[in-house]
Amino acid sequence: MKIINMPSFGADMAKGEVAHWNVKAGDTVKKGDIIASIETMKGLIDMEVFDDGTIEKLLVDEGIELSVGQPIAEFRLANEPSLDNTAQAAVSHAPEKQQPEKKQPETETSERPEFAAQPVIKIPIIQKSETFSGEANTAKISPAARQKAKELGIDWRLITHGQGPDGAIVLADIERTASAEPNKHGINDPMRQAIAAVVSRSKQQIPHYYLQLDMVVDGAQHWLTKHNQSLPSEQRILLNAIIYTAIAHALKSFPEFNGFYLDGKFAAAESVHLGNVINLRQGGLVVAAIHNAESLGCEQMMIKLKDQVIRAREGGLRMSEMQDATVTVSNLGERGCDTIQSIIFSPQVAIIGIGRQRTVPWVVDSNVTSASIVSITLAADHRVSDGHSGARLLNKINQLLQKPERLICTRNHSKNRSAN
């Protein structure tokens, strides 16, 4: 026995209705006979029966709307034995049953040979660009994120890995950074957090001792004036450069102030990567390393300092500059403090503070006169050095400061340290 379903007459026919049955239960029909009129959205269409047989039972009344495929009648094929209580499973017409589609190897061999034999070549419609190799360390940032970062005064380069493809920085990264620590002044939060972490650790773990030496800079200043006279403004050296150079050179002889204290041990660094504290306009600071500072002369130091400050303020410091400092110099001179007692940046073991240049009464050969001085302070890790070495270091710096001419093109005067 087979089921006759609501037929589909077209691809856009979803429903139909038996408007009128032409047969009733028990009627014998022949293939092609019209057994019903089906109402569709286009109008009435005759429904034929495709086999000879008998209508066993009508399953729906006229006028009921059904979906295509729903049963509407039971039908016994002419060559079927009469219906008894056992269900008739075998039906001669294969298409009436819902046969699962299976792949048959025999079927495939009857296809054209070229379909089977040709290797499949797929044409890529879009050719992907070769992997874009931009400049090394150029982070990717979306235009929206870049804009937001600018609005909020956030240096997006401090975000090492964004959520976008290949770590590209997207808007969400900027928003997350901004909301981490809401601050009305727009201070750079990850930076503030980083500084906080470092100085807290330093203050807690490092036994600081502090030394100060006031150094007369008249001589250096005098030399400087003469040196700068004949030079165009962009080549002129500032006193700071001389002081930094002196510090760097002095440190060569005092390895206990230049290196890292880690895991209970101190390891002296091979070179002096002088960390220069740069204050940022929007608040916060960054320590930028001047690599191999001990091999630089004043003019080179001057160039590096200038360049570094510009780049730091534009967010253009390199990773190595931000990571490699072996000792730090802190300089608040122009802001008008006489001395600075700094906190060491762990895991470094020393930090040198430079006060402002000021004129004070000074005793020379029992006579009171005036002198231009700079107070240089040393904060150092007492686990690694003691006051005695610290004092010697400061005195060495002072010594070098009094002979600035020796700090020019210093490779010629190096004390056999390997120039890098």
Partner 1 sequence: MIIDNTKPHIDKAHLHQLLKQMLRIRRFEEKCAQLYTQEKIRGFLHLYIGEEAIAVGVMKSLTKDDAVLATFREHGHALARGLEMNKVMAEMYGKVTGSSRGRGGSMHIFDSDLRFYGGNAIVAGALPLAVGLALADKMQNKQNVTVCFFGEGAVAEGEFHESLNLAKLWQLPILFVCENNGYAMGTALEISESEQHIYKKAQSYGLDVRQVNGMNVVDVESVAKHYCDAIRQGAGPCLLECTTYRFRGHSMFDTQLYRSADDVKKWKDKGPIVKLKNWLQANNELSPHELQQIESDVAKEVDSAVAFAEQSAFEDESDLCLGVYTEGKI
Partner 2 sequence: MNTDIQNNDNKTTETLTYREAMRLAIQESMVADERVFLVGEDVGNYGGCYAVSKGLSEQFGPQRIIDAPLSEAGFVGAGVGAAIGGMRPIVEVMTVNFSLLALDQIVNNAATLRHMSGGQLSIPLVIRMATGAGKQLAAQHSHSFENWYAHVPGIKVLAPATVADARYMLSMALADPDPVVIFEHVMLYNNSEPMPTTDDCADMHKAQVRKTGSQISLITYGGSLGKTLEAAAILEQQGICAEVIDLRCLRPLDTATVFASVNKTKRVLVVDEGWRTGSLAGEICALVAEHCFWSLDAPPKRQCSIEVPIPYPRHLEQAVLPKVEQIVESAMELVTNGQAMS
Q: Give the interface with partner 2 as residue ranges (CB under 8 A).
A: 115, 123, 125-130, 132, 134, 140, 142-143, 164-166, 168
Helix or strand holding residue 219 (H, E): helix 218-229
CA dist., res. 273 & res. 306, Å (int): 16
Report the nearest approach of partner 2 to the CB of residue 129 (Å).
Answer: 3
Which whole-number Å values give the CA distances from 68 to 8, 13, 290, 296, 369, in the listed order? 6, 7, 81, 89, 113
The CA-based angle 224-291-261, given to 5 degrees, is: 115
Q: Tokens 């510090």 identify what position?
A: 247
Cβ pair 216, 404 in contact under 8 A: no
Q: How far is the CB of 74 from partner 1 (least distance, A)?
A: 16
With beta carbons less than 8 A apart as the criterion, state whether 260 and 349 touch: yes
> Which partner, partner 2, partner 1, none, binds residue 166 by CB below 5 to 8 Å per kind?
partner 2
Rounded CA Rg of the chain? 45
Q: Which does 102 bind (CB under 5 to 8 A by kind): partner 2, partner 1, none?
A: partner 1
Tokens of 157: 């380069």
HSE-up of residue 61 (Cα within 13 Å, Cβ side): 2
Q: Which helix (DSSP H) or strand (DSSP E) does residue 180 occupy?
A: helix 171-180
* Residues 402, 377: Cα–Cα separation, whole Å: 17
Q: Which one, of 63, 80, 85, 75, lies nearest residue 25 by Cα?
A: 75
Closer residue to partner 2 (CB): 112 or 265 = 112
What are phi and psi for residue 81, nearest 5 degrees?
-65, 155
Min dist. Cβ of residue 58 to partner 1 (A): 18
To the nearest whole angstrom, how small is the minimum distance from the Cβ of residue 190 to partner 2? 22
| Least distance between partner 2 and beta carbon 90 (Å) | 36
* Cα 391 from Cα 389, distance rounded (Å): 5
Chain position carrying tokens 């048959």: 104
Partner whose footprint covers residue 128, from partner 2, partner 1, none (CB < 5 to 8 Å by kind): partner 2
Apex 390 CA angle, 389 and 393, nearest 5: 85
Non-local (6+) Cβ contacts of 403 within 8 A are none
- Strand duo 285-290 + 43-48: pairing: unpaired
- Contact residues toward partner 1 (CB under 8 A) are 5, 7-13, 32, 40, 42-45, 47-48, 50, 68-69, 93-96, 99, 101-104, 107-108, 110-111, 114-115, 118, 120-123, 125
Beta bridge partners of 275: 289, 328
Q: Which CB sits closer to partner 1, 68 or 195?
A: 68
DSSP bridge partners of 262: 265
Nearest to 290 by CA among 265, 315, 262, 258: 258
Which tokens belong to 62? 């006229």
The minimum distance between CB 171 and partner 2, in angstroms, equals: 13
